[in-house]
Each structure stands twice: as C-alpha cells, then as structure tokens.
Structure 1
Amino acid sequence: MTAEIIPLPRKDAPEPSLDAMLALTATGMNAVNTVILDRMQSQIPLIPALAGHLISGGGKRLRPMLTLAGAELVGYNGARHYKLAAAVEFIHTATLLHDDVVDGSDLRRGKAAANIIFGNPATVLVGDFLFSRAFELMVEDGSLKVLKILSNASAVIAEGEVDQLTAQRKLETSEERYLQIIRAKTAALFAAATRIAAVVAECDDAQEQALDEYGRNLGVAFQLVDDAIDYDSEAAAMGKTRGDDFREGKMTLPVILAYSRGDDMERVFWREAIGGFRTEDSDLEEAIALIHRHDAVNDTRERARHFAQRAIDAISIFPDGRARQAMTEAAMFAVSRGY
C-alpha cells in the first residue's frame, strides 16, 4: 500500500471544523463519557466536585476522540478502546490541573481555574487521583503494550513540563529546544492516544507507526497554534487570561522568533519582559506589536501547517473513507482555529 500526499486546503477554501470528527465519534464518546463519569466518582465529595469542574468545562475532548477515530480508521469493532480513551482523558485532565497550579492560572476554558476555587493542595491531589484512575483503566485492559505506551507518555509529559519550567525566562532558548519541549508536553499524549487504537486492533507495525506519527505531528501543530493564539486572540476567545505566557516568561515560538529578528532596542525590551520586569498590560501590547512586526505569529502558524501536513500524510497509507477524512479535517482545524 503506497502513501499519497494529501494537500492542506487553499486559503480560500471553507474553514475546517471538528464537525466530521464529532459525528464520527459521537456514539463512541457517549460510551467514553459514561466511563469518565463513573470513574471520577469517590466517597470523598470534593474529588468528583473538583474533577467535574474541569471535565465538564467545555473542552474539545480531542485526545479521546483521536483514539476512537483511530479505531474507526483501522476497522476495529471491539469495545476496549472506550476505557482506554477515558484513561487518555484522565491523564490529560490531571496534567491540566497540575499545570494550573504550577502556572498560577486564573482561567481555564473561560471560567475560574480549579485551583482558584478549590485551592492548590486539593487541585494537585485530585490530579493525582485522576492519574491513578487512568492507570486502573489501563490495568483492566490487560495489555502490557498499551500500559507501556500510556505510562511512557505520562512520564514524557512530566519531563516536558519540567523542561519547560527550566527554560522559563531564558531568552537563549532555541527553536529546537522549544520543539523538544512541546513534543514532550503535548505531542506525546496525542501520539499515544492514536497509537493505542492500532494496538487494540492488532494492526501491523506500519499501521501502528502511521497512527503514532499522525498523533505526534498533530500534537506539535496543535501546541504551536496554542502558542500563537496567546499573542493573537482576545481572552474571551482563548478561554484564558490573555498574555499568560508572556507574564510567566515562557519562551514560546512567537517570542523566540521576535527576539531573534529584533534590533538591539527590541532585545533590551525582551530581556526585561521575559526577565519579569515588564509585565504590565502596556508591556504586553508592546510585545504583541513586536511579535506582529516580525511576522512571528504567522510564521508560527506556518510551522504548524507543516506539522499538520505531516500528520495528514502519515495516515495516507489507509484507504480513503469517513474516518480518514475526519482525521484529515481535524488536522486542518488544528491550524486554522482561533481559540
């Protein structure tokens, strides 16, 4: 079976959406949501209250949908992937809870972050609870290979978050280092989510690798766009406080590009801003102006399109059909979205 190159849509084409993915996975996501609601319960009332605050908070649920879509793509007709998709969502939710504590976030998905309502200690501990639930679901599945894939992804995510923390406020952070960070903290779970669909379907190595590459490249594209959005959208659209990355001194690609292309005066500004000495709203506006002056948002999105194309190309080894079309449009949506 030979791969084909599937081009991204022209700029004048209709805006892609997740509608095809949502339709493809609707029935399966009902089963996944049933598992999620069941396994987030506890005799300690604070646990489901805090977990439910985030889980029911309007997220895209893209990662578990990718597990279901991957299963559709390879023709899997069983039910094992429902619990595993729920495990993927629990891992993701746990990392979000921990991230909000580390970052001191005020908003998540347009409403108060769990740490603001429930406090940091409870938020961290409920994140730990959800990680534990995820591993229970993996063990129940009984596949050592699935357990290895998802447990490795969990470890890589943690490494990526620590790596990002050590790169914080360091202007010497390179684009290569940045990509290394987002491959770990974001793309690893995307890759695991799609790859386990091939494992439960007992696919061959080439198909398993293709789904891994699809998820990994989609994850990089998704994070690149997230980082571009922080300097290109209003807070209402983003669902978080505008300029969070800027105030936290995160070296994301728009900043890396703007700093490398800036003149001496601009670099003085970036040293002071990323160093934490210029964090007012007026400083954020100056940062945004510099980023746009050097076309750093557009170039970040262009890099995202490159990785999205790689994701689309990876699944071209599979026959065309509803699942491949939905996964292709999901990659297109990842790079065109403004939220």
Structure 2
Amino acid sequence: MSSLPDAPLPNRPGEAALNTLAALVQDDLEACNRTIVARMESPVALIPALAAHIVAAGGKRLRPLLTLASARLCGYGVARGETRHVQLAACVEFIHTATLLHDDVVDESALRRGLASANAVFGNKASVLVGDFLFARAFQLMVEDGSLSVLAILSQAAATIAEGEVLQLITQNDLATDEARYLDVIRGKTAALFAAACQVGAVVAGREAAIEAALARYGINLGIAFQLVDDALDYAADQAALGKTVGDDFREGKTTLPVLLAYHAGDAAERAFWERTIAQNEQTPEDLPQAITLIERHHGIEATLARAERFAHEAQAALGCFPPSPLRHALHEAADYTLHRAR
C-alpha cells in the first residue's frame, strides 16, 4: 500500500494551532502514519482498500496528535528514541476510525470529510466488518505495548465509546432528554477517546498519577468542546465547510443541544414542530430550514458554542501543572482550534 497523503489543513481561523502542534511532533506523526499504513495491510484486499478510503480521506489526526504531544510534553523518549507513543497513537487512530465506520452505517451517512462515506462506496456490511478489523488491530497494538495500564485505559475508552453510542440511540427522538443526559452521550461517544489519547502519553512517560489525571482532564474537556461545536455546526455550517451533509443530526432525529434549547424555549406551536419532526420523525423538505430558523430565534447556536468555550477553557486550565513550553502552548491553542471550527 502506498503511504498516506498528508492531511491538508485548510487556512481557516484556528487551523494554525493544529499546524503548529503537528510541526512540533512531525517526525512522530510521520512514524505514526507509517505504522497506520503497515497495520492496515491484509491479504484480504477489501480491508486495506476500505480502510485507506477513510483513514486517508483528509482527517487531521487530532486524536493521535494528542497522544504524541502528551507523551513529549511529559518528557517521553526525547533523548532515547523511544517509540511506544507512536504505536499507541496509531492505536488511538484505529479506534477512532473503527467508530467512524460503524457510526456512518448506523446514521446512514452519505458523506465523511466531504467525500463519499465508506458505507456509500463499499456497502454497510463491508464497513461494519472492516471496522471490526480495525478494532482488532487496535487491541493488537495495545497488547504489543505490554502495559496493563495502557490496556486498561484504552480498552475502557473503547467500551465507553460503545456505551455513548448506545445511549445516543436511546435518547434519539426523545425530547425529554435533558442537558445532563446529552452531556453524558458526548462524554462517552467522543470525549472518552480524547481523554484516553492524552492519558496514555503520561503513562508511557512514567509520570505520576496527578499528571495522568491532568492530561485526562484536558482531553475530556477538549472532547466535549469539540462535540458541542460539531453539533452546532450541523445547523450553522455550509456543507462544503462541514465535510458532511448539513442537517444530518436533524434528519436522524438526534436530540443535540441546539434542538433541546430551542424546544424548551419555544411556544406551543414550535414545540409541536419539534415533536413532529424529532419525536415522531415526520419530516418534509421544508422542515430543516424551519428548524434552523427556530434554533436561531432562540440563540441555540450561540448558547451551544458558549458552553463549548467553557469546556475549552477547562481543558486549558488542566495544563497549568506543566511548565511553559512550545508543546504546552500548542496544546493550549488546540483548545482554541475546537472553537474556531465554528467561525
């Protein structure tokens, strides 16, 4: 298989922060990409073809970047040329990619990062099975690392992601979902892997429990902010910028925060609209523009982004136990990147 193409980072506000972070761990990131390519290989030709379709589709490698940067921030392998963090960054990317393959099947998504989703190209059965293959590869990398602590953190994250996805399925179409329950969903389906990606960086560096906890706290808050912005963008972005079909969450009846805020603030007629379109999933082509209008009327996007900003600041505060350095600054700025995605 050929090497993965560099993931292009468009020149949008905030992208410079991610470019800086990638530049600081450039050699590690290139090694991680080589590991990903090698571990996608299989004599079953469909597996590397489908895996490459999604892995090489232009993702920014944010989660593996967090593992690489967290390990270096903790002083891992700077003088000794150690590579455990590279293997674990690839592991994190495989877990993430496997969940994307499964999610797109569950959500019947047609686009992923602006391109046709793997299930649209290869079919649902192939996407689910290759997702299983990537999960298996991730666990092979965990076992090869040999650390029970790493295995515990990443396997727990994989289980939590699955729980979050099931919880989202349970709350789908349920307008009685409150904000606390919604946050439970996104902590599980998104933020848990951010937290684990950061925490294992401290583990491989042999740092104390307080440092592990600080990096996990950074990751969980960063992940929550990231998903809040994603949910806002589904009602506020144009399709080309978002890289997926705008309004997917609406069509799937997901009770994301912008919808919940508009529903609870709405009058009887507005609530009836949400009950028809979300709770009963009875929609017409005119309903998405109306949903966007109602969310705008009740400032649902602004309120969701304000919450994202608070979580991003919590992530930044968690880095306070580290001395100033270019890596700490880049991780601090990465939290700002999550917010700039909505601008």
Q: TM-score of the superposition, structure 1-length normalised? A: 0.94
Determine which of 104, 108, 131 is the counterpart of 2:108: 104
Alpha-carbon separation, structure 2, partners of 1:275 and 1:242: 20
Task: Identify the residue that residue 179 of structure 2 maps to in structure 1.
Answer: 175
* Residue 120 (structure 1) shift: 0.6
| Mapping of residues 284-323 of structure 1, within 5 Å | 284-323=288-327
Instruction: Please list the CA deviations of residues 124-182 of structure 1 after superposition, one character each: whole Å capped at 9, or x if unmatched.
Output: 00000000000000000000000000000000000000000010000101000000010
CA contact (8 A) 1:247 1:276 kept: no
Quote how far apart the aligned CAs of 1:279 are. Answer: 2.6
1:331 corresponding residue in structure 2:
335
**TM-superposed deviation, 1:278:** 4.0
2:222 aligned partner: 218
User: Is this contact kept in 2: 1:171–1:251, CA < 8 A?
Assistant: yes
Cα pair 1:248 1:276 within 8 Å, conserved:
no
Look up the match of 1:3.
Answer: none
Instruction: String of CA shifts for 1:65-111, please: whole Å, max 9, x gaps.
Output: 00011012111112100000000000000000000000000100101
Secondary structure at the aligned position of 1:281 is classed as: coil
Aligned twin of 2:46: 46
* C-alpha distance in 2 between matches for 1:15 and 1:256: 28
Match of 1:10 in 2: none
1:59 is matched by which residue type in structure 2? Answer: G
Q: Give the superposition deviation at 1:337.
A: 0.9
**Could you tell me how far 1:19 is from its partner in structure 2?**
1.9
Amino acid at match of 1:16: G
Verify the 8 A CA contact 2:76 2:205 in the aligned structure 1.
yes
Query: Following superposition, which runs of at least 4 residues in structure 1 exceed 3 angstroms of deviation?
Result: none
* Residue number in structure 2 paired with 1:11: none
1:338 Cα offset (Å): 3.0
Aligned to 2:7: none
Within 5 Å, which residues of 2 pair with 1:1-339?
15-17=13-15, 18-77=18-77, 78-338=82-342
Cα pair distance change 1:281/1:338, threshold 3 Å: farther
Instruction: Say which SS state the counterpart of residue 25 (structure 2) adopts.
Output: helix
Q: More relative contact order in 1 or in 2 (CA 8 Å, sep 6+)?
A: 1
State the shift of 1:35 in Å.
Answer: 0.4
The amino acid of 1:62's aligned partner reads: L
Measured in 2, the distance between the counterparts of 1:221 and 1:89 equals 19
**1:25 Cα deviation (Å)?**
2.0
Which 5+ residue runs of structure 2 have no aligned equivalent?
A: 1-11
Is 1:237–1:338's contact at 8 Å kept on the other side of the alignment? no
Q: Which structure 1 segments of 5+ residues have no match?
A: 1-13
**How far apart are 1:276 and its partner, in Å?**
4.5
The share of aligned pairs that are identical, in percent, is 58
TM-score for the superposition, normalised by structure 2: 0.93
- Post-superposition offset of 1:264: 0.7
